């Protein structure tokens, strides 16, 4: 492998991993706190993309400055989280807490189907384009290739999300409370923690990260029905590799998947999809709980 | 009342009854009969926006103008030969197994007289044997795989559009005719039947046109991938004279949005096999100079004709000013073919509503004019259509606010479709024997 190819694989892998990490981070956070494998996470990603496309499109039609579209995408994701987070968690998921985990998985699958149809009802089946922000950061030349600067901005956003989430959980009082709930909700409740509020906040944070991923992906794709499916499948692979509920695991998992996929595309394109699941299988063989998930003893 | 009066009354009554009985033979078929038509197209999922909804819109439009009797000749009889068309439209999404069940429901619960539709090749392959088994008329209107009639034979199943081999043979002929340098080719196609078959046909056809043509990068991203950074890097690392792709829908749009700013198309000529549907949405973001096909002489590639002008205007009046795309044309040509076949079968049956067997007999080997040009049921014992096709290049027209086609070349059906006795891939590998291109 020559140096140019190695650098290209590294860049492509990191760019792909950054997108994956933002979405997977939300998925792993929700699982870590609520112990729910949220199948509807991809649908929330799609809602974020649609919301961003609508808001940025509206701004463009009113001649507002293009750089503001980045803020608009951020607020679009926050808006989705503020509305959908408490609504879905309090309105639906909370009614199934304490039931079998498989049942909760089915509930989130039902939610996925409902949100899919909901987005079609609101936005229709025609595609939305908001590609203008994609050119905001110009182009970057690496080796013989030209890359779009926006892709590197996504890497920066992913790093910010990762550090922000880690800092929030490990260096703030609110984060300590969340960690306490993760370790033992009953004990936390007996100490006066409002566990339901923690669940709602954590779920909303997960929704925000999914919507953020969708919002900042919108400028580089055609936003239309079906975009939720592919993202959720690969995100599951990421969190399984990294370890469900682990932020560091999501980061490493995203990097592994991103680099494996990029290497396959460049060197053996016929195994592109297979490469991701090959890595996942290899990790599961040696670390069934994922790279960063410690083996836990049962409480009773 | 005397005897004579009674006889006269009875005689009159019998006469009226006889006339009524005679009329009764024709009246239900011509004035009261209903032809129940099932239409299957993607109303949801990734193919809905590009193909399903435009096809569905065309079906609604055509059924409406047929029922009102306001279509141009020879499609100006109300409904199907006077029978009102009652349409039931269902969603093609959900996979082949679901579609077989839905087809059975259409025939057995909805009691439809015929089903027209299907875009996905997998769906076409799955539903065809089911329709044959039930002895019900099935008219496939779009799906691309040649395998339907090359690997099986049907009495009740038809396809009223050319299969995908035509698209790629025409592209190869266009590239040669326009002297586009194509010694090296990079390929990017979706990793399923459509993408893989298109790639095989295109590479085969190109190597017949230019034996020195060599494929370099051969990428098969999964369907619905959305992110193409790695693929674009791979294509740019080994620049080829042309980049060929059969991507469609959101995948094609995302690929264009991501590859254009990276300058990929400044290094290589982009060649797209079925791309017209992506341009109305992309608008001015569509790169100029793409060599593209539309799976027929459709939309911005269509030849001028009174029927095409009528279809374009009627469709735009109903659905807005965007260019009319391939799926709408394919649905229209299918419904026009079925209409003429039903009317021919009806005439042969003395004005009675025809049976599926009678319609099938009328449709086999038939020919008709469509907005995209003549359609001939020439292959597979008259069950598979061939048609003309056009290839052109994109150009954004700021005045019309529409992507237009320029440098268009039309190819006759016999030039780009295999003859009746050959499979398409064998025909390509053999160097297109029997092709008539003059």
Contacts of B374-378 spanning 24+ positions with Cβ under 8 A: B374/B413, B375/B160, B375/B161, B375/B333, B375/B337, B376/B413, B377/B158, B377/B160, B377/B337, B378/B413, B378/B417, B378/B420
pLDDT at A294: 59
Q: Which residue of B has its CA nearest to A223?
A: B250
Q: Which of B252, B259, B437, B378 is nearest to B326 (CA)?
A: B252
pLDDT digits (tens, 9 = 90+) for B329-359: 999 999 999 999 999 999 999 999 999 999 9
pLDDT at A49: 96
Distance of CA A168 to the CA centre of its chain: 17
DSSP class of B122 = H
| Residue B323 Cα, gap to closest chain A Cα (Å) | 14
Kindly indicate the confidence band of residue A296, based on its pLDDT and cuts at 50, 70 and 90: low
**Cβ separation of B237 and A125 shorter than 8 Å?**
no
Whether the CB of A141 is below 8 Å from some CB of chain B: the reply is no
pLDDT digits (tens, 9 = 90+) for B41-78: 998 877 888 899 999 999 999 999 999 999 999 999 99
Residue B113 buriedness (CB in 10 A; 0-12 / 13-18 / 19+): buried
pTM of the model: 0.87
The Cβ-side half-sphere exposure at B198, using a 13 Å CA radius, reads: 30
pLDDT digits (tens, 9 = 90+) for B411-429: 999 999 999 889 999 999 9
Read off the tokens for A126: 């025609």
As a whole number, mean pLDDT of residues B101-129 equals 95
pLDDT at B224: 80
Q: Which of A230, A208, A259, A170 is nearest to A52 (CA)?
A: A208
**Cβ separation of A272 and B263 shorter than 8 Å?**
no
Residue B18 pLDDT greater than 50, yes or no: no
Say which of A11, A120, A127 has its CB closest to residue B250: A127
Residue A270 pLDDT greater than 80, yes or no: yes
Q: Which residue of A has its CA nearest to B261?
A: A148
Strand order in the sheet with B291-293: B214-219, B184-188, B242-245, B269-272, B291-293, B389-397, B402-411
Percent of chain A having pLDDT more than 90? 73
As a whole number, mean pLDDT of residues A218-228 equals 88
**Cβ separation of B258 and A4 shorter than 8 Å?**
no
Average pLDDT, chain A: 91
Other beta carbons less than 10 A from residue B181's beta carbon: 11
| Residue keyed to tokens 């499916």 | A229
**Cβ separation of B233 and A134 shorter than 8 Å?**
no
Whether the CB of B285 is below 8 Å from some CB of chain A: the reply is yes
Higher pLDDT, residue B85 or A120: B85
Residue B6 pLDDT greater than 70, yes or no: no
Say which of A16, A148, A273 has its CB closest to residue B227: A16
Q: CA A248, CA A291: separation in Å to the nearest integer?
A: 9
Residue A299 pLDDT greater than 90, yes or no: no
| Residue A162 Cα, gap to closest chain B Cα (Å) | 21
Say which of B218, B229, B281 has its CB closest to residue A151: B229
As a whole number, mean pLDDT of residues B294-314 equals 96
pLDDT at A272: 86
Residue A279 pLDDT greater than 70, yes or no: yes
Contacts of B84-87 spanning 24+ positions with Cβ under 8 A: B84/B33, B84/B34, B84/B35, B85/B34, B85/B35, B85/B37, B86/B34, B86/B35, B86/B36, B86/B37, B87/B37, B87/B38, B87/B39, B87/B59, B87/B60, B87/B63
pLDDT at B1: 38
Note whether B54 and B277 are within 8 A (CB): yes
Q: Which residue of B has its CA nearest to A10?
A: B230
Phi-psi region of B69 (alpha: psi -120 to 50; beta: other; left: phi over 0): left
Kindly indicate the confidence band of residue B4, based on its pLDDT and cuts at 50, 70 and 90: very low
Whether the CB of A135 is below 8 Å from some CB of chain B: the reply is yes
Whether the CB of A138 is below 8 Å from some CB of chain B: the reply is no
Contacts of B229 in chain A (CB under 8 A): 12, 15-16, 147, 151
Contacts of B217 in chain A (CB under 8 A): 269
| Residue A111 Cα, gap to closest chain B Cα (Å) | 17
Residue A214 pLDDT greater than 90, yes or no: yes
φ, ψ of residue B132 to 5 degrees: the values are -65, -45
pLDDT at B28: 45
Phi-psi region of B435 (alpha: psi -120 to 50; beta: other; left: phi over 0): beta
**Which residues, 6 or more positions from B106, have their beta carbon under 8 angstroms from its beta carbon?**
B38, B40, B88, B90, B112, B115
As a whole number, mean pLDDT of residues A202-225 equals 94
Q: CA A153, CA A65: separation in Å to the nearest integer?
A: 18
pLDDT at A107: 95
Note whether B425 and B161 are within 8 A (CB): no
As a whole number, mean pLDDT of residues B181-187 equals 96
Percent of chain A having pLDDT more than 70? 97
Contacts of A120 in chain B (CB under 8 A): 44
pLDDT digits (tens, 9 = 90+) for A43-56: 999 999 999 999 99
Percent of chain B having pLDDT more than 70? 93
Q: Which of B16, B19, B14, B27 is nearest to B353 (CA)?
A: B27
Residue A198 pLDDT greater than 80, yes or no: yes
Q: CA A20, CA A254: separation in Å to the nearest integer?
A: 6
**Cβ separation of B233 and A270 shorter than 8 Å?**
no
DSSP class of B285 = G
pLDDT at A298: 54
SS (H, E, C) chain A: CCHHHHHHHHHHHHHHHHHHHHHHHHHHHHHHHHCCCCCCHHHHHHHHHHHHHHHHHHHHHCCCCCCHHHHHHHHHHHHHHHHHHHHHHHHCHHHHCCCCHHHHHHHHHHHHHHHHHHHHHHHCCCCECCCHHHHCCCEEEECCEEEEHHHHHHHHHHHHHHHHHHHHHHCCHHHHHHHHHHHCHHHHHHCCCCHHHHHHHHHHHHHHHHHHHHHHHHHHCCECCCHHHHHHHHHHHHHHHHCCCCHHHHHHHHHHHHHHHHHHHHHCHHHHHHHHHHHHHHHHHHCCCCCCCCCCCCCC
Contacts of A220 in chain B (CB under 8 A): 227, 254, 257-258
Contacts of A126 in chain B (CB under 8 A): 49, 53, 281
Q: CA B202, CA B192: separation in Å to the nearest integer?
A: 16
Where b means 16+ CB within 10 Å and e means fewer, A156-183 reads ebbeebbeebeeebeeeeeeebbebbbe
CB pairs under 8 A between A and B: 122
Read off the tokens for A219: 């400028």
Distance of CA A136 to the CA centre of its chain: 23
Q: Which of B332, B293, B367 is nearest to B144 (CA)?
A: B293
pLDDT at A300: 52
**Cβ separation of A129 and B257 shorter than 8 Å?**
yes
As a whole number, mean pLDDT of residues A134-144 equals 92
| SS3 label, residue B402 | strand
| Interface confidence (ipTM) of the complex | 0.89
pLDDT digits (tens, 9 = 90+) for A158-176: 999 999 999 999 999 999 9
Strand order in the sheet with B367-370: B84-91, B34-41, B114-117, B137-140, B157-159, B384-387, B373-379, B367-370
Q: CA A22, CA A235: separation in Å to the nearest integer?
A: 10
Identify the residue among A128, A216, A226 best suited for mutation to test binding to B, counting B beta carbons within 10 A and taking the highest.
A226
């Amino acid at each position: 492998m020559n140096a140019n190819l190695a650098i290209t694989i590294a860049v492509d892998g990191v760019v792909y991993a950054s997108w994956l990490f933002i979405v997977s981070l939300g998925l792993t956070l929700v699982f870590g706190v609520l112990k729910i494998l949220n199948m509807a996470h991809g649908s929330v990603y799609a809602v974020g993309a649609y919301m961003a496309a609508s808001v940025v499109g509206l701004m463009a039609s009113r001649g507002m400055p293009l750089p503001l579209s980045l803020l608009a995408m951020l607020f679009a994701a926050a808006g989705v989280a503020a509305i959908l987070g408490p609504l879905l968690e309090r309105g639906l998921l909370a009614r199934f807490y304490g039931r079998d985990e498989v049942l909760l998985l089915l509930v989130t699958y039902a939610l996925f189907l409902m949100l899919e149809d909901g987005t079609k009802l609101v936005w229709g089946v025609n595609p939305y384009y908001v590609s203008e922000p994609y050119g905001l950061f110009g182009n970057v030349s690496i080796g013989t290739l030209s890359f779009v600067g926006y892709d590197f901005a996504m890497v920066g956003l992913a790093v910010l999300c990762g550090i922000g989430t880690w800092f929030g959980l490990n260096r703030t009082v609110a984060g300590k409370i969340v960690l306490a709930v993760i370790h033992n909700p009953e004990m936390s409740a007996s100490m006066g923690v409002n566990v339901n509020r923690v669940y709602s906040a954590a779920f909303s944070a997960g929704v925000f990260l999914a919507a953020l991923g969708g919002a900042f992906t919108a400028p580089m794709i055609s936003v239309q029905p079906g975009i939720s499916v592919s993202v959720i499948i690969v995100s599951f692979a990421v969190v399984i590799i990294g370890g469900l509920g682990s932020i560091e695991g999501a980061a490493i998992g995203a990097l592994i998947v991103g680099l494996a996929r990029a290497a396959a595309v460049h060197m053996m394109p016929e195994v592109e999809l297979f490469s991701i699941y090959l890595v996942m299988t290899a990790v599961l063989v040696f670390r069934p709980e994922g790279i960063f998930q410690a083996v836990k003893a049962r409480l009773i | 009342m005397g005897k004579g009066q009674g006889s006269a009354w009875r005689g009159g009554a019998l006469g009226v009854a006889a006339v009524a009985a005679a009329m009764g033979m024709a009246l239900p078929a011509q004035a009261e009969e209903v032809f129940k038509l099932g239409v299957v197209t993607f109303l949801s999922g990734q193919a809905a926006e590009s193909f399903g909804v435009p096809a569905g819109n065309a079906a609604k439009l055509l059924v409406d103008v047929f029922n009102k009797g306001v279509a141009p000749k020879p499609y100006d009889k109300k409904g199907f030969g006077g029978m009102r068309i009652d349409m039931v439209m269902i969603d093609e999404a959900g996979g082949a197994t679901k579609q077989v069940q839905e087809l059975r429901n259409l025939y057995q619960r909805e009691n439809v007289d015929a089903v027209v539709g299907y875009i996905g090749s997998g769906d076409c392959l799955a539903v065809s044997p089911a329709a044959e088994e039930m002895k019900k008329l099935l008219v496939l209107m779009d799906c691309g795989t040649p395998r339907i009639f090359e690997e099986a034979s049907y009495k009740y199943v038809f396809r009223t559009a050319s299969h995908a081999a035509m698209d790629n043979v025409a592209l190869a002929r266009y590239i040669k005719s326009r002297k586009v340098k194509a010694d090296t080719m990079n390929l990017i196609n979706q990793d399923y039947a459509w993408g893989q078959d298109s790639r095989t046909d295109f590479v085969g056809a190109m190597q017949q046109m230019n034996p020195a043509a060599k494929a370099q990068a051969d990428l098969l991203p999964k369907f619905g991938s959305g992110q193409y950074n790695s693929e674009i890097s791979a294509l740019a690392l080994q620049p080829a004279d042309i980049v060929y792709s059969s991507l469609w829908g959101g995948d094609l749009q995302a690929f264009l949005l991501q590859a254009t700013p990276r300058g990929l198309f400044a290094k290589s000529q982009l060649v797209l096999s079925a791309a017209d549907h992506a341009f109305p949405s992309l608008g001015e973001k569509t790169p100029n100079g793409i060599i593209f096909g539309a799976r027929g002489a459709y939309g911005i590639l269509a030849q001028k004709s009174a029927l095409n002008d009528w279809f374009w205007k009627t469709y735009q009046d109903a659905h807005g000013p965007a260019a009319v795309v391939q799926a709408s044309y394919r649905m229209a040509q299918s419904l026009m073919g079925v209409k003429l076949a039903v009317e021919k079968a009806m005439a042969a049956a003395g004005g009675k509503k025809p049976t599926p067997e009678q319609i099938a007999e009328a449709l086999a080997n038939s020919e008709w004019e469509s907005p995209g040009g003549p359609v001939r049921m020439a292959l597979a014992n008259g069950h598979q259509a061939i048609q003309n096709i056009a290839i052109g290049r994109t150009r954004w027209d700021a005045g019309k606010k529409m992507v237009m086609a320029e440098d268009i070349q039309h190819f006759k059906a016999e030039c780009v479709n295999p003859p009746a006795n050959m499979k398409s891939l064998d025909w390509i590998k053999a160097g297109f024997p029997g092709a008539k291109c003059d």
